[in-house]
Amino acid sequence: MKKVFFSISILLSFYIKLVKMVSTIANPTVPAQLNWTYTAEDLKKLTEKIIEDGKKISKQIEEIPDDECSFESVIVPIGRKMENEVDAIESNIDFFQHISPNKDIRDASAECSLKLQEFGIELSMNKKVYQKVAKVIENIKNGKFKAPENPEDKRLLEKIDLDYRRDGLALPDNKLDELKELKKKLTNLSIEFSRCIGEDKTTYVFTKKELDGLSEDFFENLEKTTKDGEEAYIVDMKYPSYFPILKLAKNENTRKTMMRTYGQRCKPNVDRLKEALALRLKIANMLGYPSHSHFKLETKMAKNPKNVLEFLQNLKEKLQPLAKEEIKKLLELKKAEKDELHEPFDNELHDWDFHYYNRMLIEKEYAVKDDEIKQYLPIKEVTEEMLGIYEKIFSIKCVEIENPAVWHPDVRQFEIYDKKSNDYMGTVYLDLYPREGKYTHAACFGLISGYDKEDGKHVYPVVAMVANFSKPTATKPSLLKHNEVTTYYHELGHVFHQICSNTKWSRFHGTHVERDFVEAPSQMLENWCWEPEVLEKLSHHYQDKNKKLPKNLIDSLIKTKNVNAAISNLRQIFFGSIDMKLHTMEKEDKNLDIIKIWNDLRKEITLIENLQDTWGIATFNHIMSGYDSGYYGYLWSEVFSADMYFSKFKPIGILNPEIGEKYRNIILKNGGSKDAMDLLKEFLGREPNNEAFLKSLGIN
């Protein structure tokens, strides 16, 4: 929870500058179009003003007499001033560091975000405010004031009280001061860790010969140079370069060199992570928890480390026998190729081999080639068809804004409306291509969370999806590989979780659910990308829009869904396990070698050895950006995503708007205003189970 106060006067002055009002096609609600022309100095001034006025409002709450502390006098102002009105502004200030083309603005955004997070920590440690919250609960118990009747109001009171207690407000004052400083240090480390990855400019020069196997369009966006007198190219470590080389480069040493260079980025992050681990453990101990994982999991569906470790161990044991068979099959391909090339065969599937022989297996046994399939998946047409599918399933309309005011010419803007009522639901931005300084992965950023204002009117969500798909070239549009289409579908799932949500308080809006459930709605929607009717609908050959993916290609592609699924899922188990191993430690180890732990655990779990002279953990951003003791959640939530899809959508019809609308109104609309388990039970009509999940992995 961001406990940053914001006065009404500052909010109004901010919106005079921030929000440009535009016309609506349906109702009195006026969609807000954000202004992206802020300078670095604007961000700094706004941040200072937020902090200045926040301190004044904090003082006002502290001075409420104890006998006047009620839900209306204390909790409502906290919900409105500390959360609803401020979170949107903080999110916008923070967003610039991830997307602005201007480095000065990115730096200012990061600096301001750090200040606001530190200020949020300071306010979350305000014992006088917490004492007023505690007094509200006491006054309600004593019958002086009524408890809130609205279930979401009641949940707000419970969660605010829990947050304050987990923030250490029961500690003596001197310990609170220490805790505050520890959290500030931790925040700073997290920002430095992420910035190091985002601004990494590592490159490697490969000759054209070394890149044999790559298609010609791969070279169109690369800078030419020479190496040892030969034609060569400067290759960065971004995904559009990294994965094609691992999949297609025939030269094994090229793949190994690419993986080594990729794995040797951001070495200073190793020490940052070690320091963060020590800080997290110290904070957990101060709050009465034996480890950081015990603290983090208290508010998750999993509840405790034991449940998570058993979950991961059980999956590992069931998947490893199958993974050994998959590795054996890939080694047969490797041996055949080495024999044909008259090269020595070492009978080892290396890390840099997997993507290459996995691709070869798919092409040979299933006649599926990424380069062939992507000809039918130009990003513009895929986007239109994908949005059309979401429109049908969720009974919504997506209206693109012409000549939008955005932060970069590549960005597209859409307003979303309810199909039946024509009511405005929110705004979506799509920023899909890589550029220098931009966030390097695919993600959904909530810029404004929905909530009810004091006058009863609703503030609607604004969401941005950021990705790094290959740029269009002079001769071809951006063409998506099938796995990129799946990523696109997944992130749009987060987008529409935000858009379709409608809650009274911003802290419960959209994806603000238990962290180990947050991926379930998006993971469920990935299943559509493996359905024949959806693949046929999405596909349009870039040279002939009427030409669809041939049925034989679609059938072959679908058969690849679970190819080497055990290896892939063991990789996810590895990420979840390294996260848990580091965060279940109950004593600080000053000699902790996290690089060795990373490399050893990788071999133990995935059965594939990591390059020993690399430090992949230095770019494992999840562990420093909110997924600490939470990475297991990707697999955990897959249990529920599989149950929802195979139990409800698959039997009735994957594009059936009736079940889609039920899903929207139960799972998406409620956001985190109810427990995820209760929403699942309501949607499924029973207790959720793992049968569909295990079946989807090929486990009986």
DSSP string, 53-122: HHHHHHHHHHTS-GGG--IIIIIHHIIIIIIIHHHHHHHHHHHHHHH-S-HHHHHHHHHHHHHHHHHHHH
Say if residue 314's pLDDT is above 80: yes
Catalytic residue ranges: 491
Average pLDDT over residues 238-259: 96
CA–CA dist 676, 668 (Å, integer): 10
Q: Where are the alpha helices (H) located in 377-422, listed in sequence order?
A: 379-394
| 56 or 69, greater pLDDT | 69
Say if residue 21's pLDDT is above 60: no
CA–CA dist 381, 541 (Å, integer): 9
Q: 232 Cβ partners below 8 Å, 6+ apart? A: 205, 206, 207, 208, 224, 225, 226
Question: Which position has the token pair 């060199």?
Answer: 257
Question: Which position has the token pair 């969720």?
Answer: 394
pLDDT recorded at residue 671: 98
| 471 or 50, greater pLDDT | 471
Residue-wise pLDDT for 5-16, tens only, equals 333 233 333 333
Q: pTM for this structure? A: 0.78
DSSP tag of 405: -
Query: Is 660 exposed, middle or buried (CB count within 10 Å of its CB: 0-12, 13-18, 19+)?
Result: buried
**How many residues are listed for the chain in this entry?**
700
Task: Specify the domain boundaries for CATH 1.10.1370.40 within the chain.
Answer: 375-565+634-696
| 32-34 and 203-207 strand pairing | unpaired
pLDDT recorded at residue 7: 33
Say if residue 199's pLDDT is above 80: yes
Say if residue 62's pLDDT is above 50: yes
CA–CA dist 534, 120 (Å, integer): 45
DSSP-based three-state secondary structure for 463: strand
* Residue 606: both structure tokens together: 């995935």
Please report which confidence band the pLDDT of residue 32 belongs to, taking 50, 70 and 90 as the band edges: low
| Residue type for position 614 | T
Residue-wise pLDDT for 322-343, tens only, equals 999 999 999 999 999 999 999 9
DSSP-based three-state secondary structure for 680: helix
As assigned by CATH, the class of the 8-170 domain is mainly alpha
Q: Name the residue among 563, 547, 530 with its Cα closest to residue 364.
A: 563
* Residue 175: both structure tokens together: 């310990």
**CA 690 from centroid of its chain's CA atoms:** 24
Task: Specify the domain boundaries for CATH 1.20.1050.40 within the chain.
Answer: 8-170
pLDDT recorded at residue 29: 55
CA–CA dist 414, 668 (Å, integer): 19
Q: How many CB atoms lie within 10 A of CB 612?
A: 11
Please report which confidence band the pLDDT of residue 122 belongs to, taking 50, 70 and 90 as the band edges: confident
pLDDT recorded at residue 17: 38
DSSP string, 598-636: HHHHHHHHHSSPPPTT--GGGG-GGGGTT-TTTTTHHHH
CB 133, CB 75: distance < 8 Å: yes
* Residue 73: both structure tokens together: 């006098």
CA–CA dist 57, 205 (Å, integer): 56
Residue-wise pLDDT for 405-414, tens only, equals 999 999 999 9
CA–CA dist 210, 202 (Å, integer): 18
Please report which confidence band the pLDDT of residue 18 belongs to, taking 50, 70 and 90 as the band edges: very low
Residue-wise pLDDT for 402-461, tens only, equals 999 999 999 999 999 999 999 999 999 999 999 999 999 999 999 999 999 999 999 999
| Residue type for position 61 | I
Taking the CA atoms of residue 183, residue 185, residue 189 and residue 192 in that order, the dihedral angle to the nearest 10 degrees is 120
pLDDT recorded at residue 15: 34
Residue-wise pLDDT for 474-487, tens only, equals 999 999 999 999 99
Average pLDDT over residues 84-109: 93
Between the alpha carbon of residue 332 and those of residues 339, 511, 624, the distances in Å are 11, 44, 39
Average pLDDT over residues 492-498: 98
Q: 651 Cβ partners below 8 Å, 6+ apart? A: none
Question: Which position has the token pair 């101990």?
Answer: 285
Say if residue 2's pLDDT is above 50: no
Q: How many CB atoms lie within 10 A of CB 616?
A: 21
CATH of 375-565+634-696, one of 2.70.98.10, 1.20.20.10, 1.10.3080.10, 1.10.1370.40: 1.10.1370.40
CA–CA dist 210, 253 (Å, integer): 8
Q: Name the residue among 205, 328, 316, 204 with its Cα closest to residue 263.
A: 204
Q: 402 Cβ partners below 8 Å, 6+ apart? A: none
Whole-number mean pLDDT of the chain? 92
pLDDT above 90: percentage of residues in the chain: 82
Q: How many CB atoms lie within 10 A of CB 107?
A: 18
